[in-house]
Structure 1
Amino acid sequence: MNTLDREIPLTPAAHSNAALHQRKTSTLSARRWKETLLGYIFLAPSLLLFVVFLFYPLVQSVYLSVHETDPRGRVAGYVGLDNFIDIFTSEKFYKSLEVTGLFTLLTVPTGIALSLLLAALTHNHLRGMRIFQFIFSLPVVLSVGTSAVIWMMLYHPSVGMLNYLLSLAGVQPVAWLTDPKLALLSVSLMTIWMNLGFTYIVLLSGLQGIPDDIYDSAKIDGAGPFRTFVQIIMPLLSPTLFFVLIVSIIGAFQSFGQIHILTKGGPVDSTDVLVYSLYQDAFINFRFGTGSAQALVLFVLILILTIVQFKAFERNVHYQ
């Protein structure tokens, strides 16, 4: 008992209240611990998947990037930063980086602009619009492999639909995938169509999240459809556009499946993007150390590019 208790003796009721308060505090603390433990139990499957399929491969890539490996992927010796030096002194790396940048410029702005146009045209509540929304969303259900095979048939030099339509117009057949000047453009067209469904759905959802009162107020103020869309809707849609921009650029830098199926990096390395170059080094030439180093370089490039986008464009994003 402290001095205060000796000077002012506590009544039995005060002792009872203090004991009750202490029991409530301990009960609340135990409940919080149980809730925290329950939360970690529910998170355990996701955390396990992240560890197995994300964190462990990342650590293993860092480990392999500073080692030399044999064709079976076993570590043969420590090489330090030699793999990174080989990458940054290789002309092929800068060529792949150039192709990746051009591929991103061809696919991302065009895909976003086309998706935004289709979303704006099908946003109204006219009868039958649901059918068009369903049609424009269809590419999202197709895998990369399926989409690539479909476009490979369309691009076929002799029996492809595109060359058949050109022949009806009196135009000579085009070597879509074997001409170094057209191969990257052809793959870009296929990628724009493949990503159209996801981008369209996201932008359409953003437009549908804008209250109808804003459109009505703009009409009352005398603003036309174009002015309303540019000066009112676009700022309100800027968070969605910002999200789509970041995701599309990351996806463009990670594109692999359609290039592997359609062109295999050719002709004359005209479609040899960074991910396909990484694949060739690691799984064709069995240089797993160099491939891991390239994967880390690609990760850093995407990270830097994403940070630059946040610094440059987020200030123009208007959150409601």
Structure 2
Amino acid sequence: MNIPNVEKQSMKLQTKGHKRHRRRFSFLEGWLYLLPSLFLFTAFLFYPMVRTVYLSLFYTDTQGKPMAFAGMENFTALLSSSSFLLSVKSTFLFVLYTVPVGVLLALGLALLANQKLAGIGFFRTIFSSTMGMSVAASSVIWMFIYNPSIGFANRLLTWFGLPEMQFLLDPSTALIAVAVATIWMNTGFTFLILLGGLQNIDSQLYESAKIAGVSTIYSLRKITLPMLSPTLFFVITVSMINSFQTFGQIDILTKGGPIDSTNVIVYSIYKDAFINYNIGSASAQAVILFLCVFLVTIIQFKLGERKVHYQ
């Protein structure tokens, strides 16, 4: 009488064992798929990050080898250094110059290019063309534009009856000049992302607005911007992080000058690490930069994500 019950119990145990075996196999299989990515992240992200934090706590020789434990002295020396504080100021000013203007410019171009007009594809290609240019090539173009003798910028000023300027040699204009070049370089990417976001908005919303007699500006405020808010949030976050990490155009156009007016933190890290061979100080600056970007991103998520509409 108890034999069937025994068989049922044994079958249940076998089924449980089989399910447990499948779960283990799936778990191991998942880790096998993740291993290449984990290896790359460990080699090129996690290890350099940990190593940078480690070196920031030491005095180092010219080859970057730790010589003596410094504790927080590298950080205190930086925070009391007028040169580093000027770099922090230049970095935040650069972000302030590039991100809002760049996003607004790209948004305006995207709104224009989203219109259903004949030949609009040509303008979409032109607006996004800066994506195909490297930072080095773009910087060389702007170096010629800002050239005091043959540059187009001074010729334009002359046509309007204004005095010529030394854009990259004047401390009061150098950072703005690099910011203008950076906005031009990044417009293509930002424009393309925003245009994709605009084209994903349901056209029936605009048709309903036209039937209701709603104005274009009202449609922009109540339909376009709310529906585009996830894309705008992504673009602003990425643009801000990229601005904090700007290096190439600074190196080619000004090399941190004149009088350190364009010496942003990333370029200051480069000079300390590869010109002055002060790896400990450069690592401390890298840690401070990481903390700045991390805090700004958290604040942006806390304040900006409230206004994002995902439906």
TM-score normalised by the chain length of structure 2 = 0.94
CA distance in 1, matches of 2:56, 2:271: 16
Q: Deviations over 1:219-278 (max 9, x none)?
A: 111111111011221111111111111111111111111101100011111111111112
Query: Which among 98, 103, 108 is matched to residue 94 of structure 2?
Result: 103
Aligned to 1:149: 140
The one-character-per-residue Cα deviations of 1:134-192 (angstroms, maximum 9, x if unpaired) are: 21111122222221122112222222233344445555443121111211111001000
Residue 35 (structure 2) pairs with residue 35 (structure 1):
no
For 2:75, give the aligned amino acid.
Answer: F
Q: What is the 5 A alignment of 1:1-320?
A: 9-12=1-4, 14-169=5-160, 171-320=162-311
Structure number with larger C-alpha Rg:
1
Give me the whole-angstrom Cα distance separating, in 1, the residues matched to 2:23 and 2:148.
Answer: 67
Measure, in 1, the Cα distance between the counterparts of 2:280 and 2:174. 30
Which deviates more from structure 2 when the two are superposed, residues 107-116 or residues 27-36?
A: 27-36
Amino acid at match of 1:65: S
Amino acid paired to 1:63: Y
Question: 1-side partners of 2:299 and 2:132: how far apart?
Answer: 32
Post-superposition Cα deviations, 1:43-81, rounded to whole Å, max 9, x if no partner, equal 211111110111111111111111001111111111111
Shift of 1:112: 0.4
Paired with 2:144 and 2:11, the residues of 1 have a C-alpha distance of: 78
Q: Structure 2 CA distance, aligned partners of 1:193 and 1:231?
A: 29
Structure 1 gap ranges (5+)? 1-8
Q: Which amino acid aligns with 1:298?
A: L
Alpha-carbon displacement from aligned partner over 1:272-297 (angstroms, at most 9, x marks no partner): 11111121122111110011011001
CA distance in 2 between counterparts of 1:141 and 1:182 reads 28
Q: Give the SS at the match of 2:124.
A: helix
Structure 2: how far apart are the matches of 1:30 and 1:142? 53
Identity of aligned residues (%): 47
Name the CA distance, whole Å, in 1 between partners of 2:211 and 2:23. Answer: 54
Q: How far has the Cα of 1:22 moved from its partner? A: 3.0
| Distance in 2 (alpha carbons) for counterparts of 1:20 and 1:221 | 67
Residues 24 and 132 of structure 1: is their aligned pair in 2 closer, same or farther, counting only changes over 3 Å?
A: farther
Describe the SS at the equivalent of 1:42: helix
Aligned residues: 311
- In the TM superposition, what is the alpha-carbon distance from 1:34 to its structure 2 partner? 2.2
CA distance in 2, matches of 1:19, 1:146: 72
CA distance in 2, matches of 1:28, 1:52: 35
CA RMSD of aligned residues (A): 1.7
**In 1, distance between residues paired with 2:180 and 2:257?**
16
One-letter identity of the residue aligned with 1:206: G
Q: What amino acid is the match of 2:37? A: S
Residue 124 of structure 1 deviates from its aligned partner by: 2.4
TM-score normalised by L of structure 1: 0.92
**How far apart are 1:83 and its partner, in Å?**
0.3
2:71 aligned counterpart, secondary structure: coil
What are the ranges of 5 or more consecutive residues in structure 2 without an aligned counterpart? none
Query: Aligned partners of 1:311, 1:41: CA distance in 2, in Å?
Result: 35
CA distance in 2, matches of 1:10, 1:145: 83
